[in-house]
Structure 1
Amino acid sequence: MENLPEHWTIRPVTLADAAAVTKLIQRSELARLGETDTIQDEIEAWWRRHEASLEQNSWLVKTENDTLAGVALLYDRKYGVLEFEVFVAPELVETGLETYLLHLCEKRAGELVPLAPEGAKVALQTWFDREDSARWELLEHHGYAPGRYFWQMGIQLKEQPSAPQWADGITVQTLTPGMERAIFEAKEEAFKDHWGHTPTTFEEWAQHTFQRKNMDPSLWFLAMDGDEIAGLALCSDETPYDQGGWVNVLGVRRPWRRKSIGLALLHQAFGEFYRRGISDVYLNVDARSLTGATRLYERAGMRKVKEYVMMEMLLRDGIDLTVQRLEDEN
């Protein structure tokens, strides 16, 4: 498809489109994969974080009957990383609309390349379920190559989980007002050793995090060494969306590693989910985690349940500004 059919329309997305776009993505995932894990709350939170750029970096297509046909969004994560998403109504997959929207993302990404830091590598990336063979084939045909894999890992809590065993001097508490910035700084420090990490600001993080409808401070567990946050597990109850419990962020700052704090935080989270009657708990992790996180999760009883792939196209060669290895590696 080089041009849209006559009387079809295209415009940027707005926050008011979130419900309709969520339904479109869910229909697409059900048709491609037989299941969906898309949540409107998460889409709204992500769009609010990027609201200033939606006017130029998003496209929503409707048919002559005002039916939503497809959507594409491009996110500039800075540091030379551009990410996109493209979804098309299942009944329109064979029309070429997906390729049309892909090309819009690529064209806009090309315009953003000069804005990246001088000398930096710039790549256009997208993430999707590894089982989506049709998407893989489409992207490969257009010059994309797999770059990284992530796992969704899960555990079914059939009995009371093991009680957390805390290292000497470590206590646990939940979020209290006034700790938000300290939590953000601890998370950023811990994730400096996470592949592909790009720094963000407190304001961006807070907007994305605290405006979620199911944000529950009683599920944010902080491992404390005195007044210092040694590690953290930021969790959420996604059972209203049939998604179980989630450990969204798990990190331990470098000075407190190798003290089993990560495992203790997992057990703390498992215990609270079990107490609430939530038996299925999940998290996402880099399949080749620089810190060996997959081994920790396996020790805790978690197993891989799904795999995601990142495919990318190099737009400009240069120095990779995202985290690629541990800082102390030679």
Structure 2
Amino acid sequence: MLTQLEQAEITDPGLPAGYTLHGATLDDLPEAVEVFNAVSRQIIGRDEFTVENYREEWEIPVLNLPEYVKVVRAANGQLIGCVEVWDLYEPHTRLNTWIKVHPDHQGRGLEAALLRFAEDKARRSALPRAPRGARVSLLGWVNHRETVTNDAYAAAGFQLVRNSYHMRIDLTEAPPAPVWPDGITLRPFVPERDLEAVTWVDREAFRDHWGFVERPFEADVQMLRHWMKSAKFDPALWLVAVDGERIAGVSLNRAEADEDPDMGWIGSLGVLREYRHRGLATALLHQSFGDFYRRGKQAVGLGVDAYNLTGALRLYERVGMRVAHKYNTYEKELRPGVELSTQKLRNE
């Protein structure tokens, strides 16, 4: 049964005259991707998205697309904006939103309206389900060059709490061969054998990542299974470093970056605590660079928290990576309480 809070969900967040809000469907995807790319061309001069790649986001199994993703149409029927609210799994304490407005329609109040919808949706989705006494917050992630959107987050009461980077290395020559720590070897990723173990290692490694919130293990397995259905998934690019039979670290790579088919992408690099500071992460990076180089890729990219708690940013700089794009992370508290996400390193 729906709660009174859920039943009262707003259907009009105060859009400017002539604009209407609609639940998204997969049929909207080509028009939505064109809006996303129009913004990308505005700020970095080129497209970053394809319909095929973004379909993977909108087809996540537990996403109720028309309820949590809305599109905005102008009076002539053109799709000119989109807002997404992500609240897929327990404990429902740390939600995310993402908004895009076509450059021709920016600065008319649409950004503020979409953030009002996102906050309202987040409150109605999370507050009835989050653990009693837990802090609940809504976060947004924006390229620092999106001036209008950044201003809209600030005006809506969001606080700038973090920065993150997309980093890259250009493969102008063969990268160094990996030097594996004593006792560590590389073995092939076999989905039927390794999926749950790799999920566990990736999850444990990222407990030390700012903002990590533990969710049901089955949810993490489900998400990795979903990404394995991607056309960019190649098990040969999922690196599994083992100490005997125990997995010590992983690098889950994708055949190409969303923003550039000539760039390989390191989706998740994780090393268990007891294997850190021994050169394993460096070896995984060099192995990844070499794999992409041999496939003819011109560059390799990844994403990183600018203030990463485990020193990942310094590691990436040491192996020759540089910042390509900077993003701002905004947060708005929806309910005060005990923070369940990682904010600092646990005691060794």
Say yes or no: TM over 0.5: yes
What is the rounded CA distance, in whole Å, between the counterparts of 2:304 and 2:35 in structure 1?
27
In 1, are the aligned partners of 2:29 and 2:51 still within 8 Å (CA)?
A: yes
In 2, are the aligned partners of 1:181 and 1:202 still within 8 Å (CA)?
A: no
Equivalent residue number for residue 71 of structure 1: 82
Task: List per-residue Cα deviations over 1:264-290 (Å, max 9, x = no partner).
Answer: 000101111111111211111111111
Distance change in 2, residues 1:203/1:225 (3 Å): closer
Is residue 191 from structure 1 mapped to residue 173 from structure 2 by the alignment? no
Deviation at 1:217, TM superposition (A): 0.9
What is the rounded CA distance, in whole Å, between the counterparts of 1:126 and 1:321 in structure 2?
18
Match for 1:127 among 141, 146, 157?
141
Match for 2:48 among 22, 34, 37?
37
Deviation at 1:99, TM superposition (A): 1.8
Deviation at 1:186, TM superposition (A): 1.1
Match for 2:273 among 248, 254, 258?
254
Equivalent residue number for residue 176 of structure 1: 190
Q: Secondary structure at the match of 1:22?
A: helix
Equivalent residue number for residue 156 of structure 1: 170
Match for 1:288 among 298, 307, 331?
307
- Aligned partner of 2:310: which letter? T
What is the rounded CA distance, in whole Å, between the counterparts of 2:27 and 2:290 in structure 1?
38
Distance change in 2, residues 1:288/1:301 (3 Å): same
Equivalent residue number for residue 2 of structure 1: 14
Q: Secondary structure at the match of 1:281?
A: strand
Match for 2:156 among 131, 134, 142?
142
Equivalent residue number for residue 251 of structure 2: 233
Match for 1:323 among 339, 342, 346?
342
Equivalent residue number for residue 93 of structure 1: 106
Q: Secondary structure at the match of 1:115?
A: coil
What is the rounded CA distance, in whole Å, between the counterparts of 1:240 and 1:72 in structure 2?
20
Equivalent residue number for residue 288 of structure 2: 269
Distance change in 2, residues 1:95/1:37 (3 Å): same
Is residue 16 from structure 1 mapped to residue 27 from structure 2 by the alignment? yes
Distance change in 2, residues 1:57/1:34 (3 Å): same
Deviation at 1:220, TM superposition (A): 0.9
**Identity rate, percent:** 34
What is the rounded CA distance, in whole Å, between the counterparts of 1:189 and 1:314 in structure 2?
26
What is the rounded CA distance, in whole Å, between the counterparts of 2:100 and 2:118 in structure 1?
12
What's the RMSD between the two structures over aligned residues? 2.1
Unpaired runs of 5+ residues, structure 2, are 1-12
Aligned length: 328
Is residue 105 from structure 1 mapped to residue 118 from structure 2 by the alignment? yes
What is the rounded CA distance, in whole Å, between the counterparts of 1:47 and 1:37 in structure 2?
16
What is the rounded CA distance, in whole Å, between the counterparts of 2:298 and 2:322 in structure 1?
14
What is the rounded CA distance, in whole Å, between the counterparts of 1:240 and 1:150 in structure 2?
17
In 1, are the aligned partners of 2:38 and 2:102 still within 8 Å (CA)?
A: yes
- Aligned partner of 1:212: which letter? S
Task: List per-residue Cα deviations over 1:115-171 (Å, max 9, x = no partner).
Answer: 211111111110011122222212112211101111111111221111111112111
Equivalent residue number for residue 6 of structure 2: none
Deviation at 1:253, TM superposition (A): 0.9
Q: Secondary structure at the match of 2:214?
A: coil
In 2, are the aligned partners of 1:30 and 1:36 still within 8 Å (CA)?
A: yes
In 1, are the aligned partners of 2:115 and 2:153 still within 8 Å (CA)?
A: no
Task: List per-residue Cα deviations over 1:235-290 (Å, max 9, x = no partner).
Answer: 11226852511111101012212211100000101111111111211111111111
What is the rounded CA distance, in whole Å, between the counterparts of 2:159 and 2:315 in structure 1?
29
In 1, are the aligned partners of 2:142 and 2:329 still within 8 Å (CA)?
A: yes
Larger CA deviation: 54-63 vs 121-130? 54-63
Distance change in 2, residues 1:144/1:33 (3 Å): farther
What is the rounded CA distance, in whole Å, between the counterparts of 2:130 and 2:146 in structure 1?
31
Unpaired runs of 5+ residues, structure 1, are none
Match for 1:61 among 72, 83, 90?
72
- Aligned partner of 1:17: which letter? D
Equivalent residue number for residue 179 of structure 2: 165
